[in-house]
Structure 1
């Protein structure tokens, strides 16, 4: 492989997340982790080559997340379920919602590594995933963190870039100011919804004529129109 496969591990057991992250990283994979399906859905799922997804979690189940990944996000990223549920109906449910493989807990790390490598050898997994977000003349390259408008490079701040990428990933859907704050300013302590408005205003100017496609609606937030 001429790239580093990116894997997202989603499990609400911290010890298990850390064990998987350490061992898979040792195999040369780039590993990100999430403690819930809700957290995982805030990540750039289109940049991953594989999802390792726990079925039973405190909030949204792994099955529900997989269904959203396939139907709403329309992503073909391979999914391996991790679960203690072993009935035939459970297995069928996993495959029906778009799972590619099923690893039953408790499992050995060697088994996980073998299954992961087998999935990544499949044809659809050996190519670099699409990391470009586009709308008309606006193009965002997630990997290089660059933005072009009508093929002209535009300089955005980190926050402006993350807001634009978030809006394009959810094109046609309103995202509340609070949700934008949670996703873009997650590590900052003192921020308000006004920070969102200021960054949106600057972003509109920087993308020129396409700024009109970034619309705001009171009580709903912001949306990049289709």
Structure 2
């Protein structure tokens, strides 16, 4: 069995199409027709959520926001007729992992589901070499195992992507990472994400870090790195 997927859409025909094709690929598929039902049905055994944005009641964006705030980081594929860049960035900023516009290709959905499940499985594997458990500088602490960031003991509320970017920079500090390397590590090579998305997330991340924003350094034309001795170069 390949895994369990939750499909959330208030259009029954779309749910039926996705359920039929996903089950043909060997997945177990659960279906919810509203955001409210999805929040009741989601469990730790679901590997991916295919989540419609435009629904009556709670929107898909609101569902994603509630899940991330509750500590649930199951991969989310947003499925929607809204395909502007601002909508995409909104989805990613709320913790979405991929974005597919309607009308969609079933083959494209299957490929993206497979890619997300594969990447999720890789992150759960035990690494061959020990990795650091935290990264600290003065009052800033990045708990790499507990997925928490604190400043002077106060927790900083980050989205999943913001934390993944910050923890990636911390683990590789002081080495510089290109935008492409960050995109491939955080979003995956098979996801369509603009380079600008990295800049948008880092801008929001810096605002949340407050006095420590300057540790995230941008080397113009190259990429980003963490440097506790550096000032903001942007």
- Structure 1's 28 and 127: CA in aligned 2 closer, same or farther, altered over 3 A? farther
* Partner in structure 2 of residue 178 of structure 1: none
* Partner in structure 2 of residue 161 of structure 1: none
Matched-pair contact (CA < 8 Å) for 1:83–1:103:
yes
- The secondary structure found in structure 2 opposite 1:122 is helix
- 2:26 corresponds to 1:28: yes
- Structure 1's 9 and 126: CA in aligned 2 closer, same or farther, altered over 3 A? farther
TM norm structure 1? 0.53
Q: CA offsets per residue over residues 169-190 of structure 1, 9 Å max, x none? A: xxxxxxxxxxxxxxxxxxxxxx
* Partner in structure 2 of residue 68 of structure 1: 66
Matched-pair contact (CA < 8 Å) for 1:78–1:125:
no
- 2:119 corresponds to 1:122: yes
Alignment of 1:1-226 (within 5 A): 3-72=1-70, 74-124=71-121
Matched-pair contact (CA < 8 Å) for 1:77–1:125:
no
Matched-pair contact (CA < 8 Å) for 1:120–1:126:
no
Number of aligned residues: 125
- The secondary structure found in structure 2 opposite 1:18 is helix
Matched-pair contact (CA < 8 Å) for 1:11–1:34:
yes
Matched-pair contact (CA < 8 Å) for 1:50–1:77:
yes
Matched-pair contact (CA < 8 Å) for 1:25–1:31:
yes
Moved over 2 A (4+): 123-128
How far 1:123 moved relative to its partner? 3.7
Q: Which runs of 5+ in 2 are unaligned?
A: 126-234
Counterpart CA distance in 1 for 2:41 and 2:96 is 19
Per mean C-alpha deviation after superposition, the further-off stretch among 92-101 and 114-123 is 114-123
How far 1:86 moved relative to its partner? 1.1
- Structure 1's 126 and 5: CA in aligned 2 closer, same or farther, altered over 3 A? farther
CA root-mean-square deviation:
1.7
Q: Which runs of 5+ in 1 are unaligned?
A: 129-226
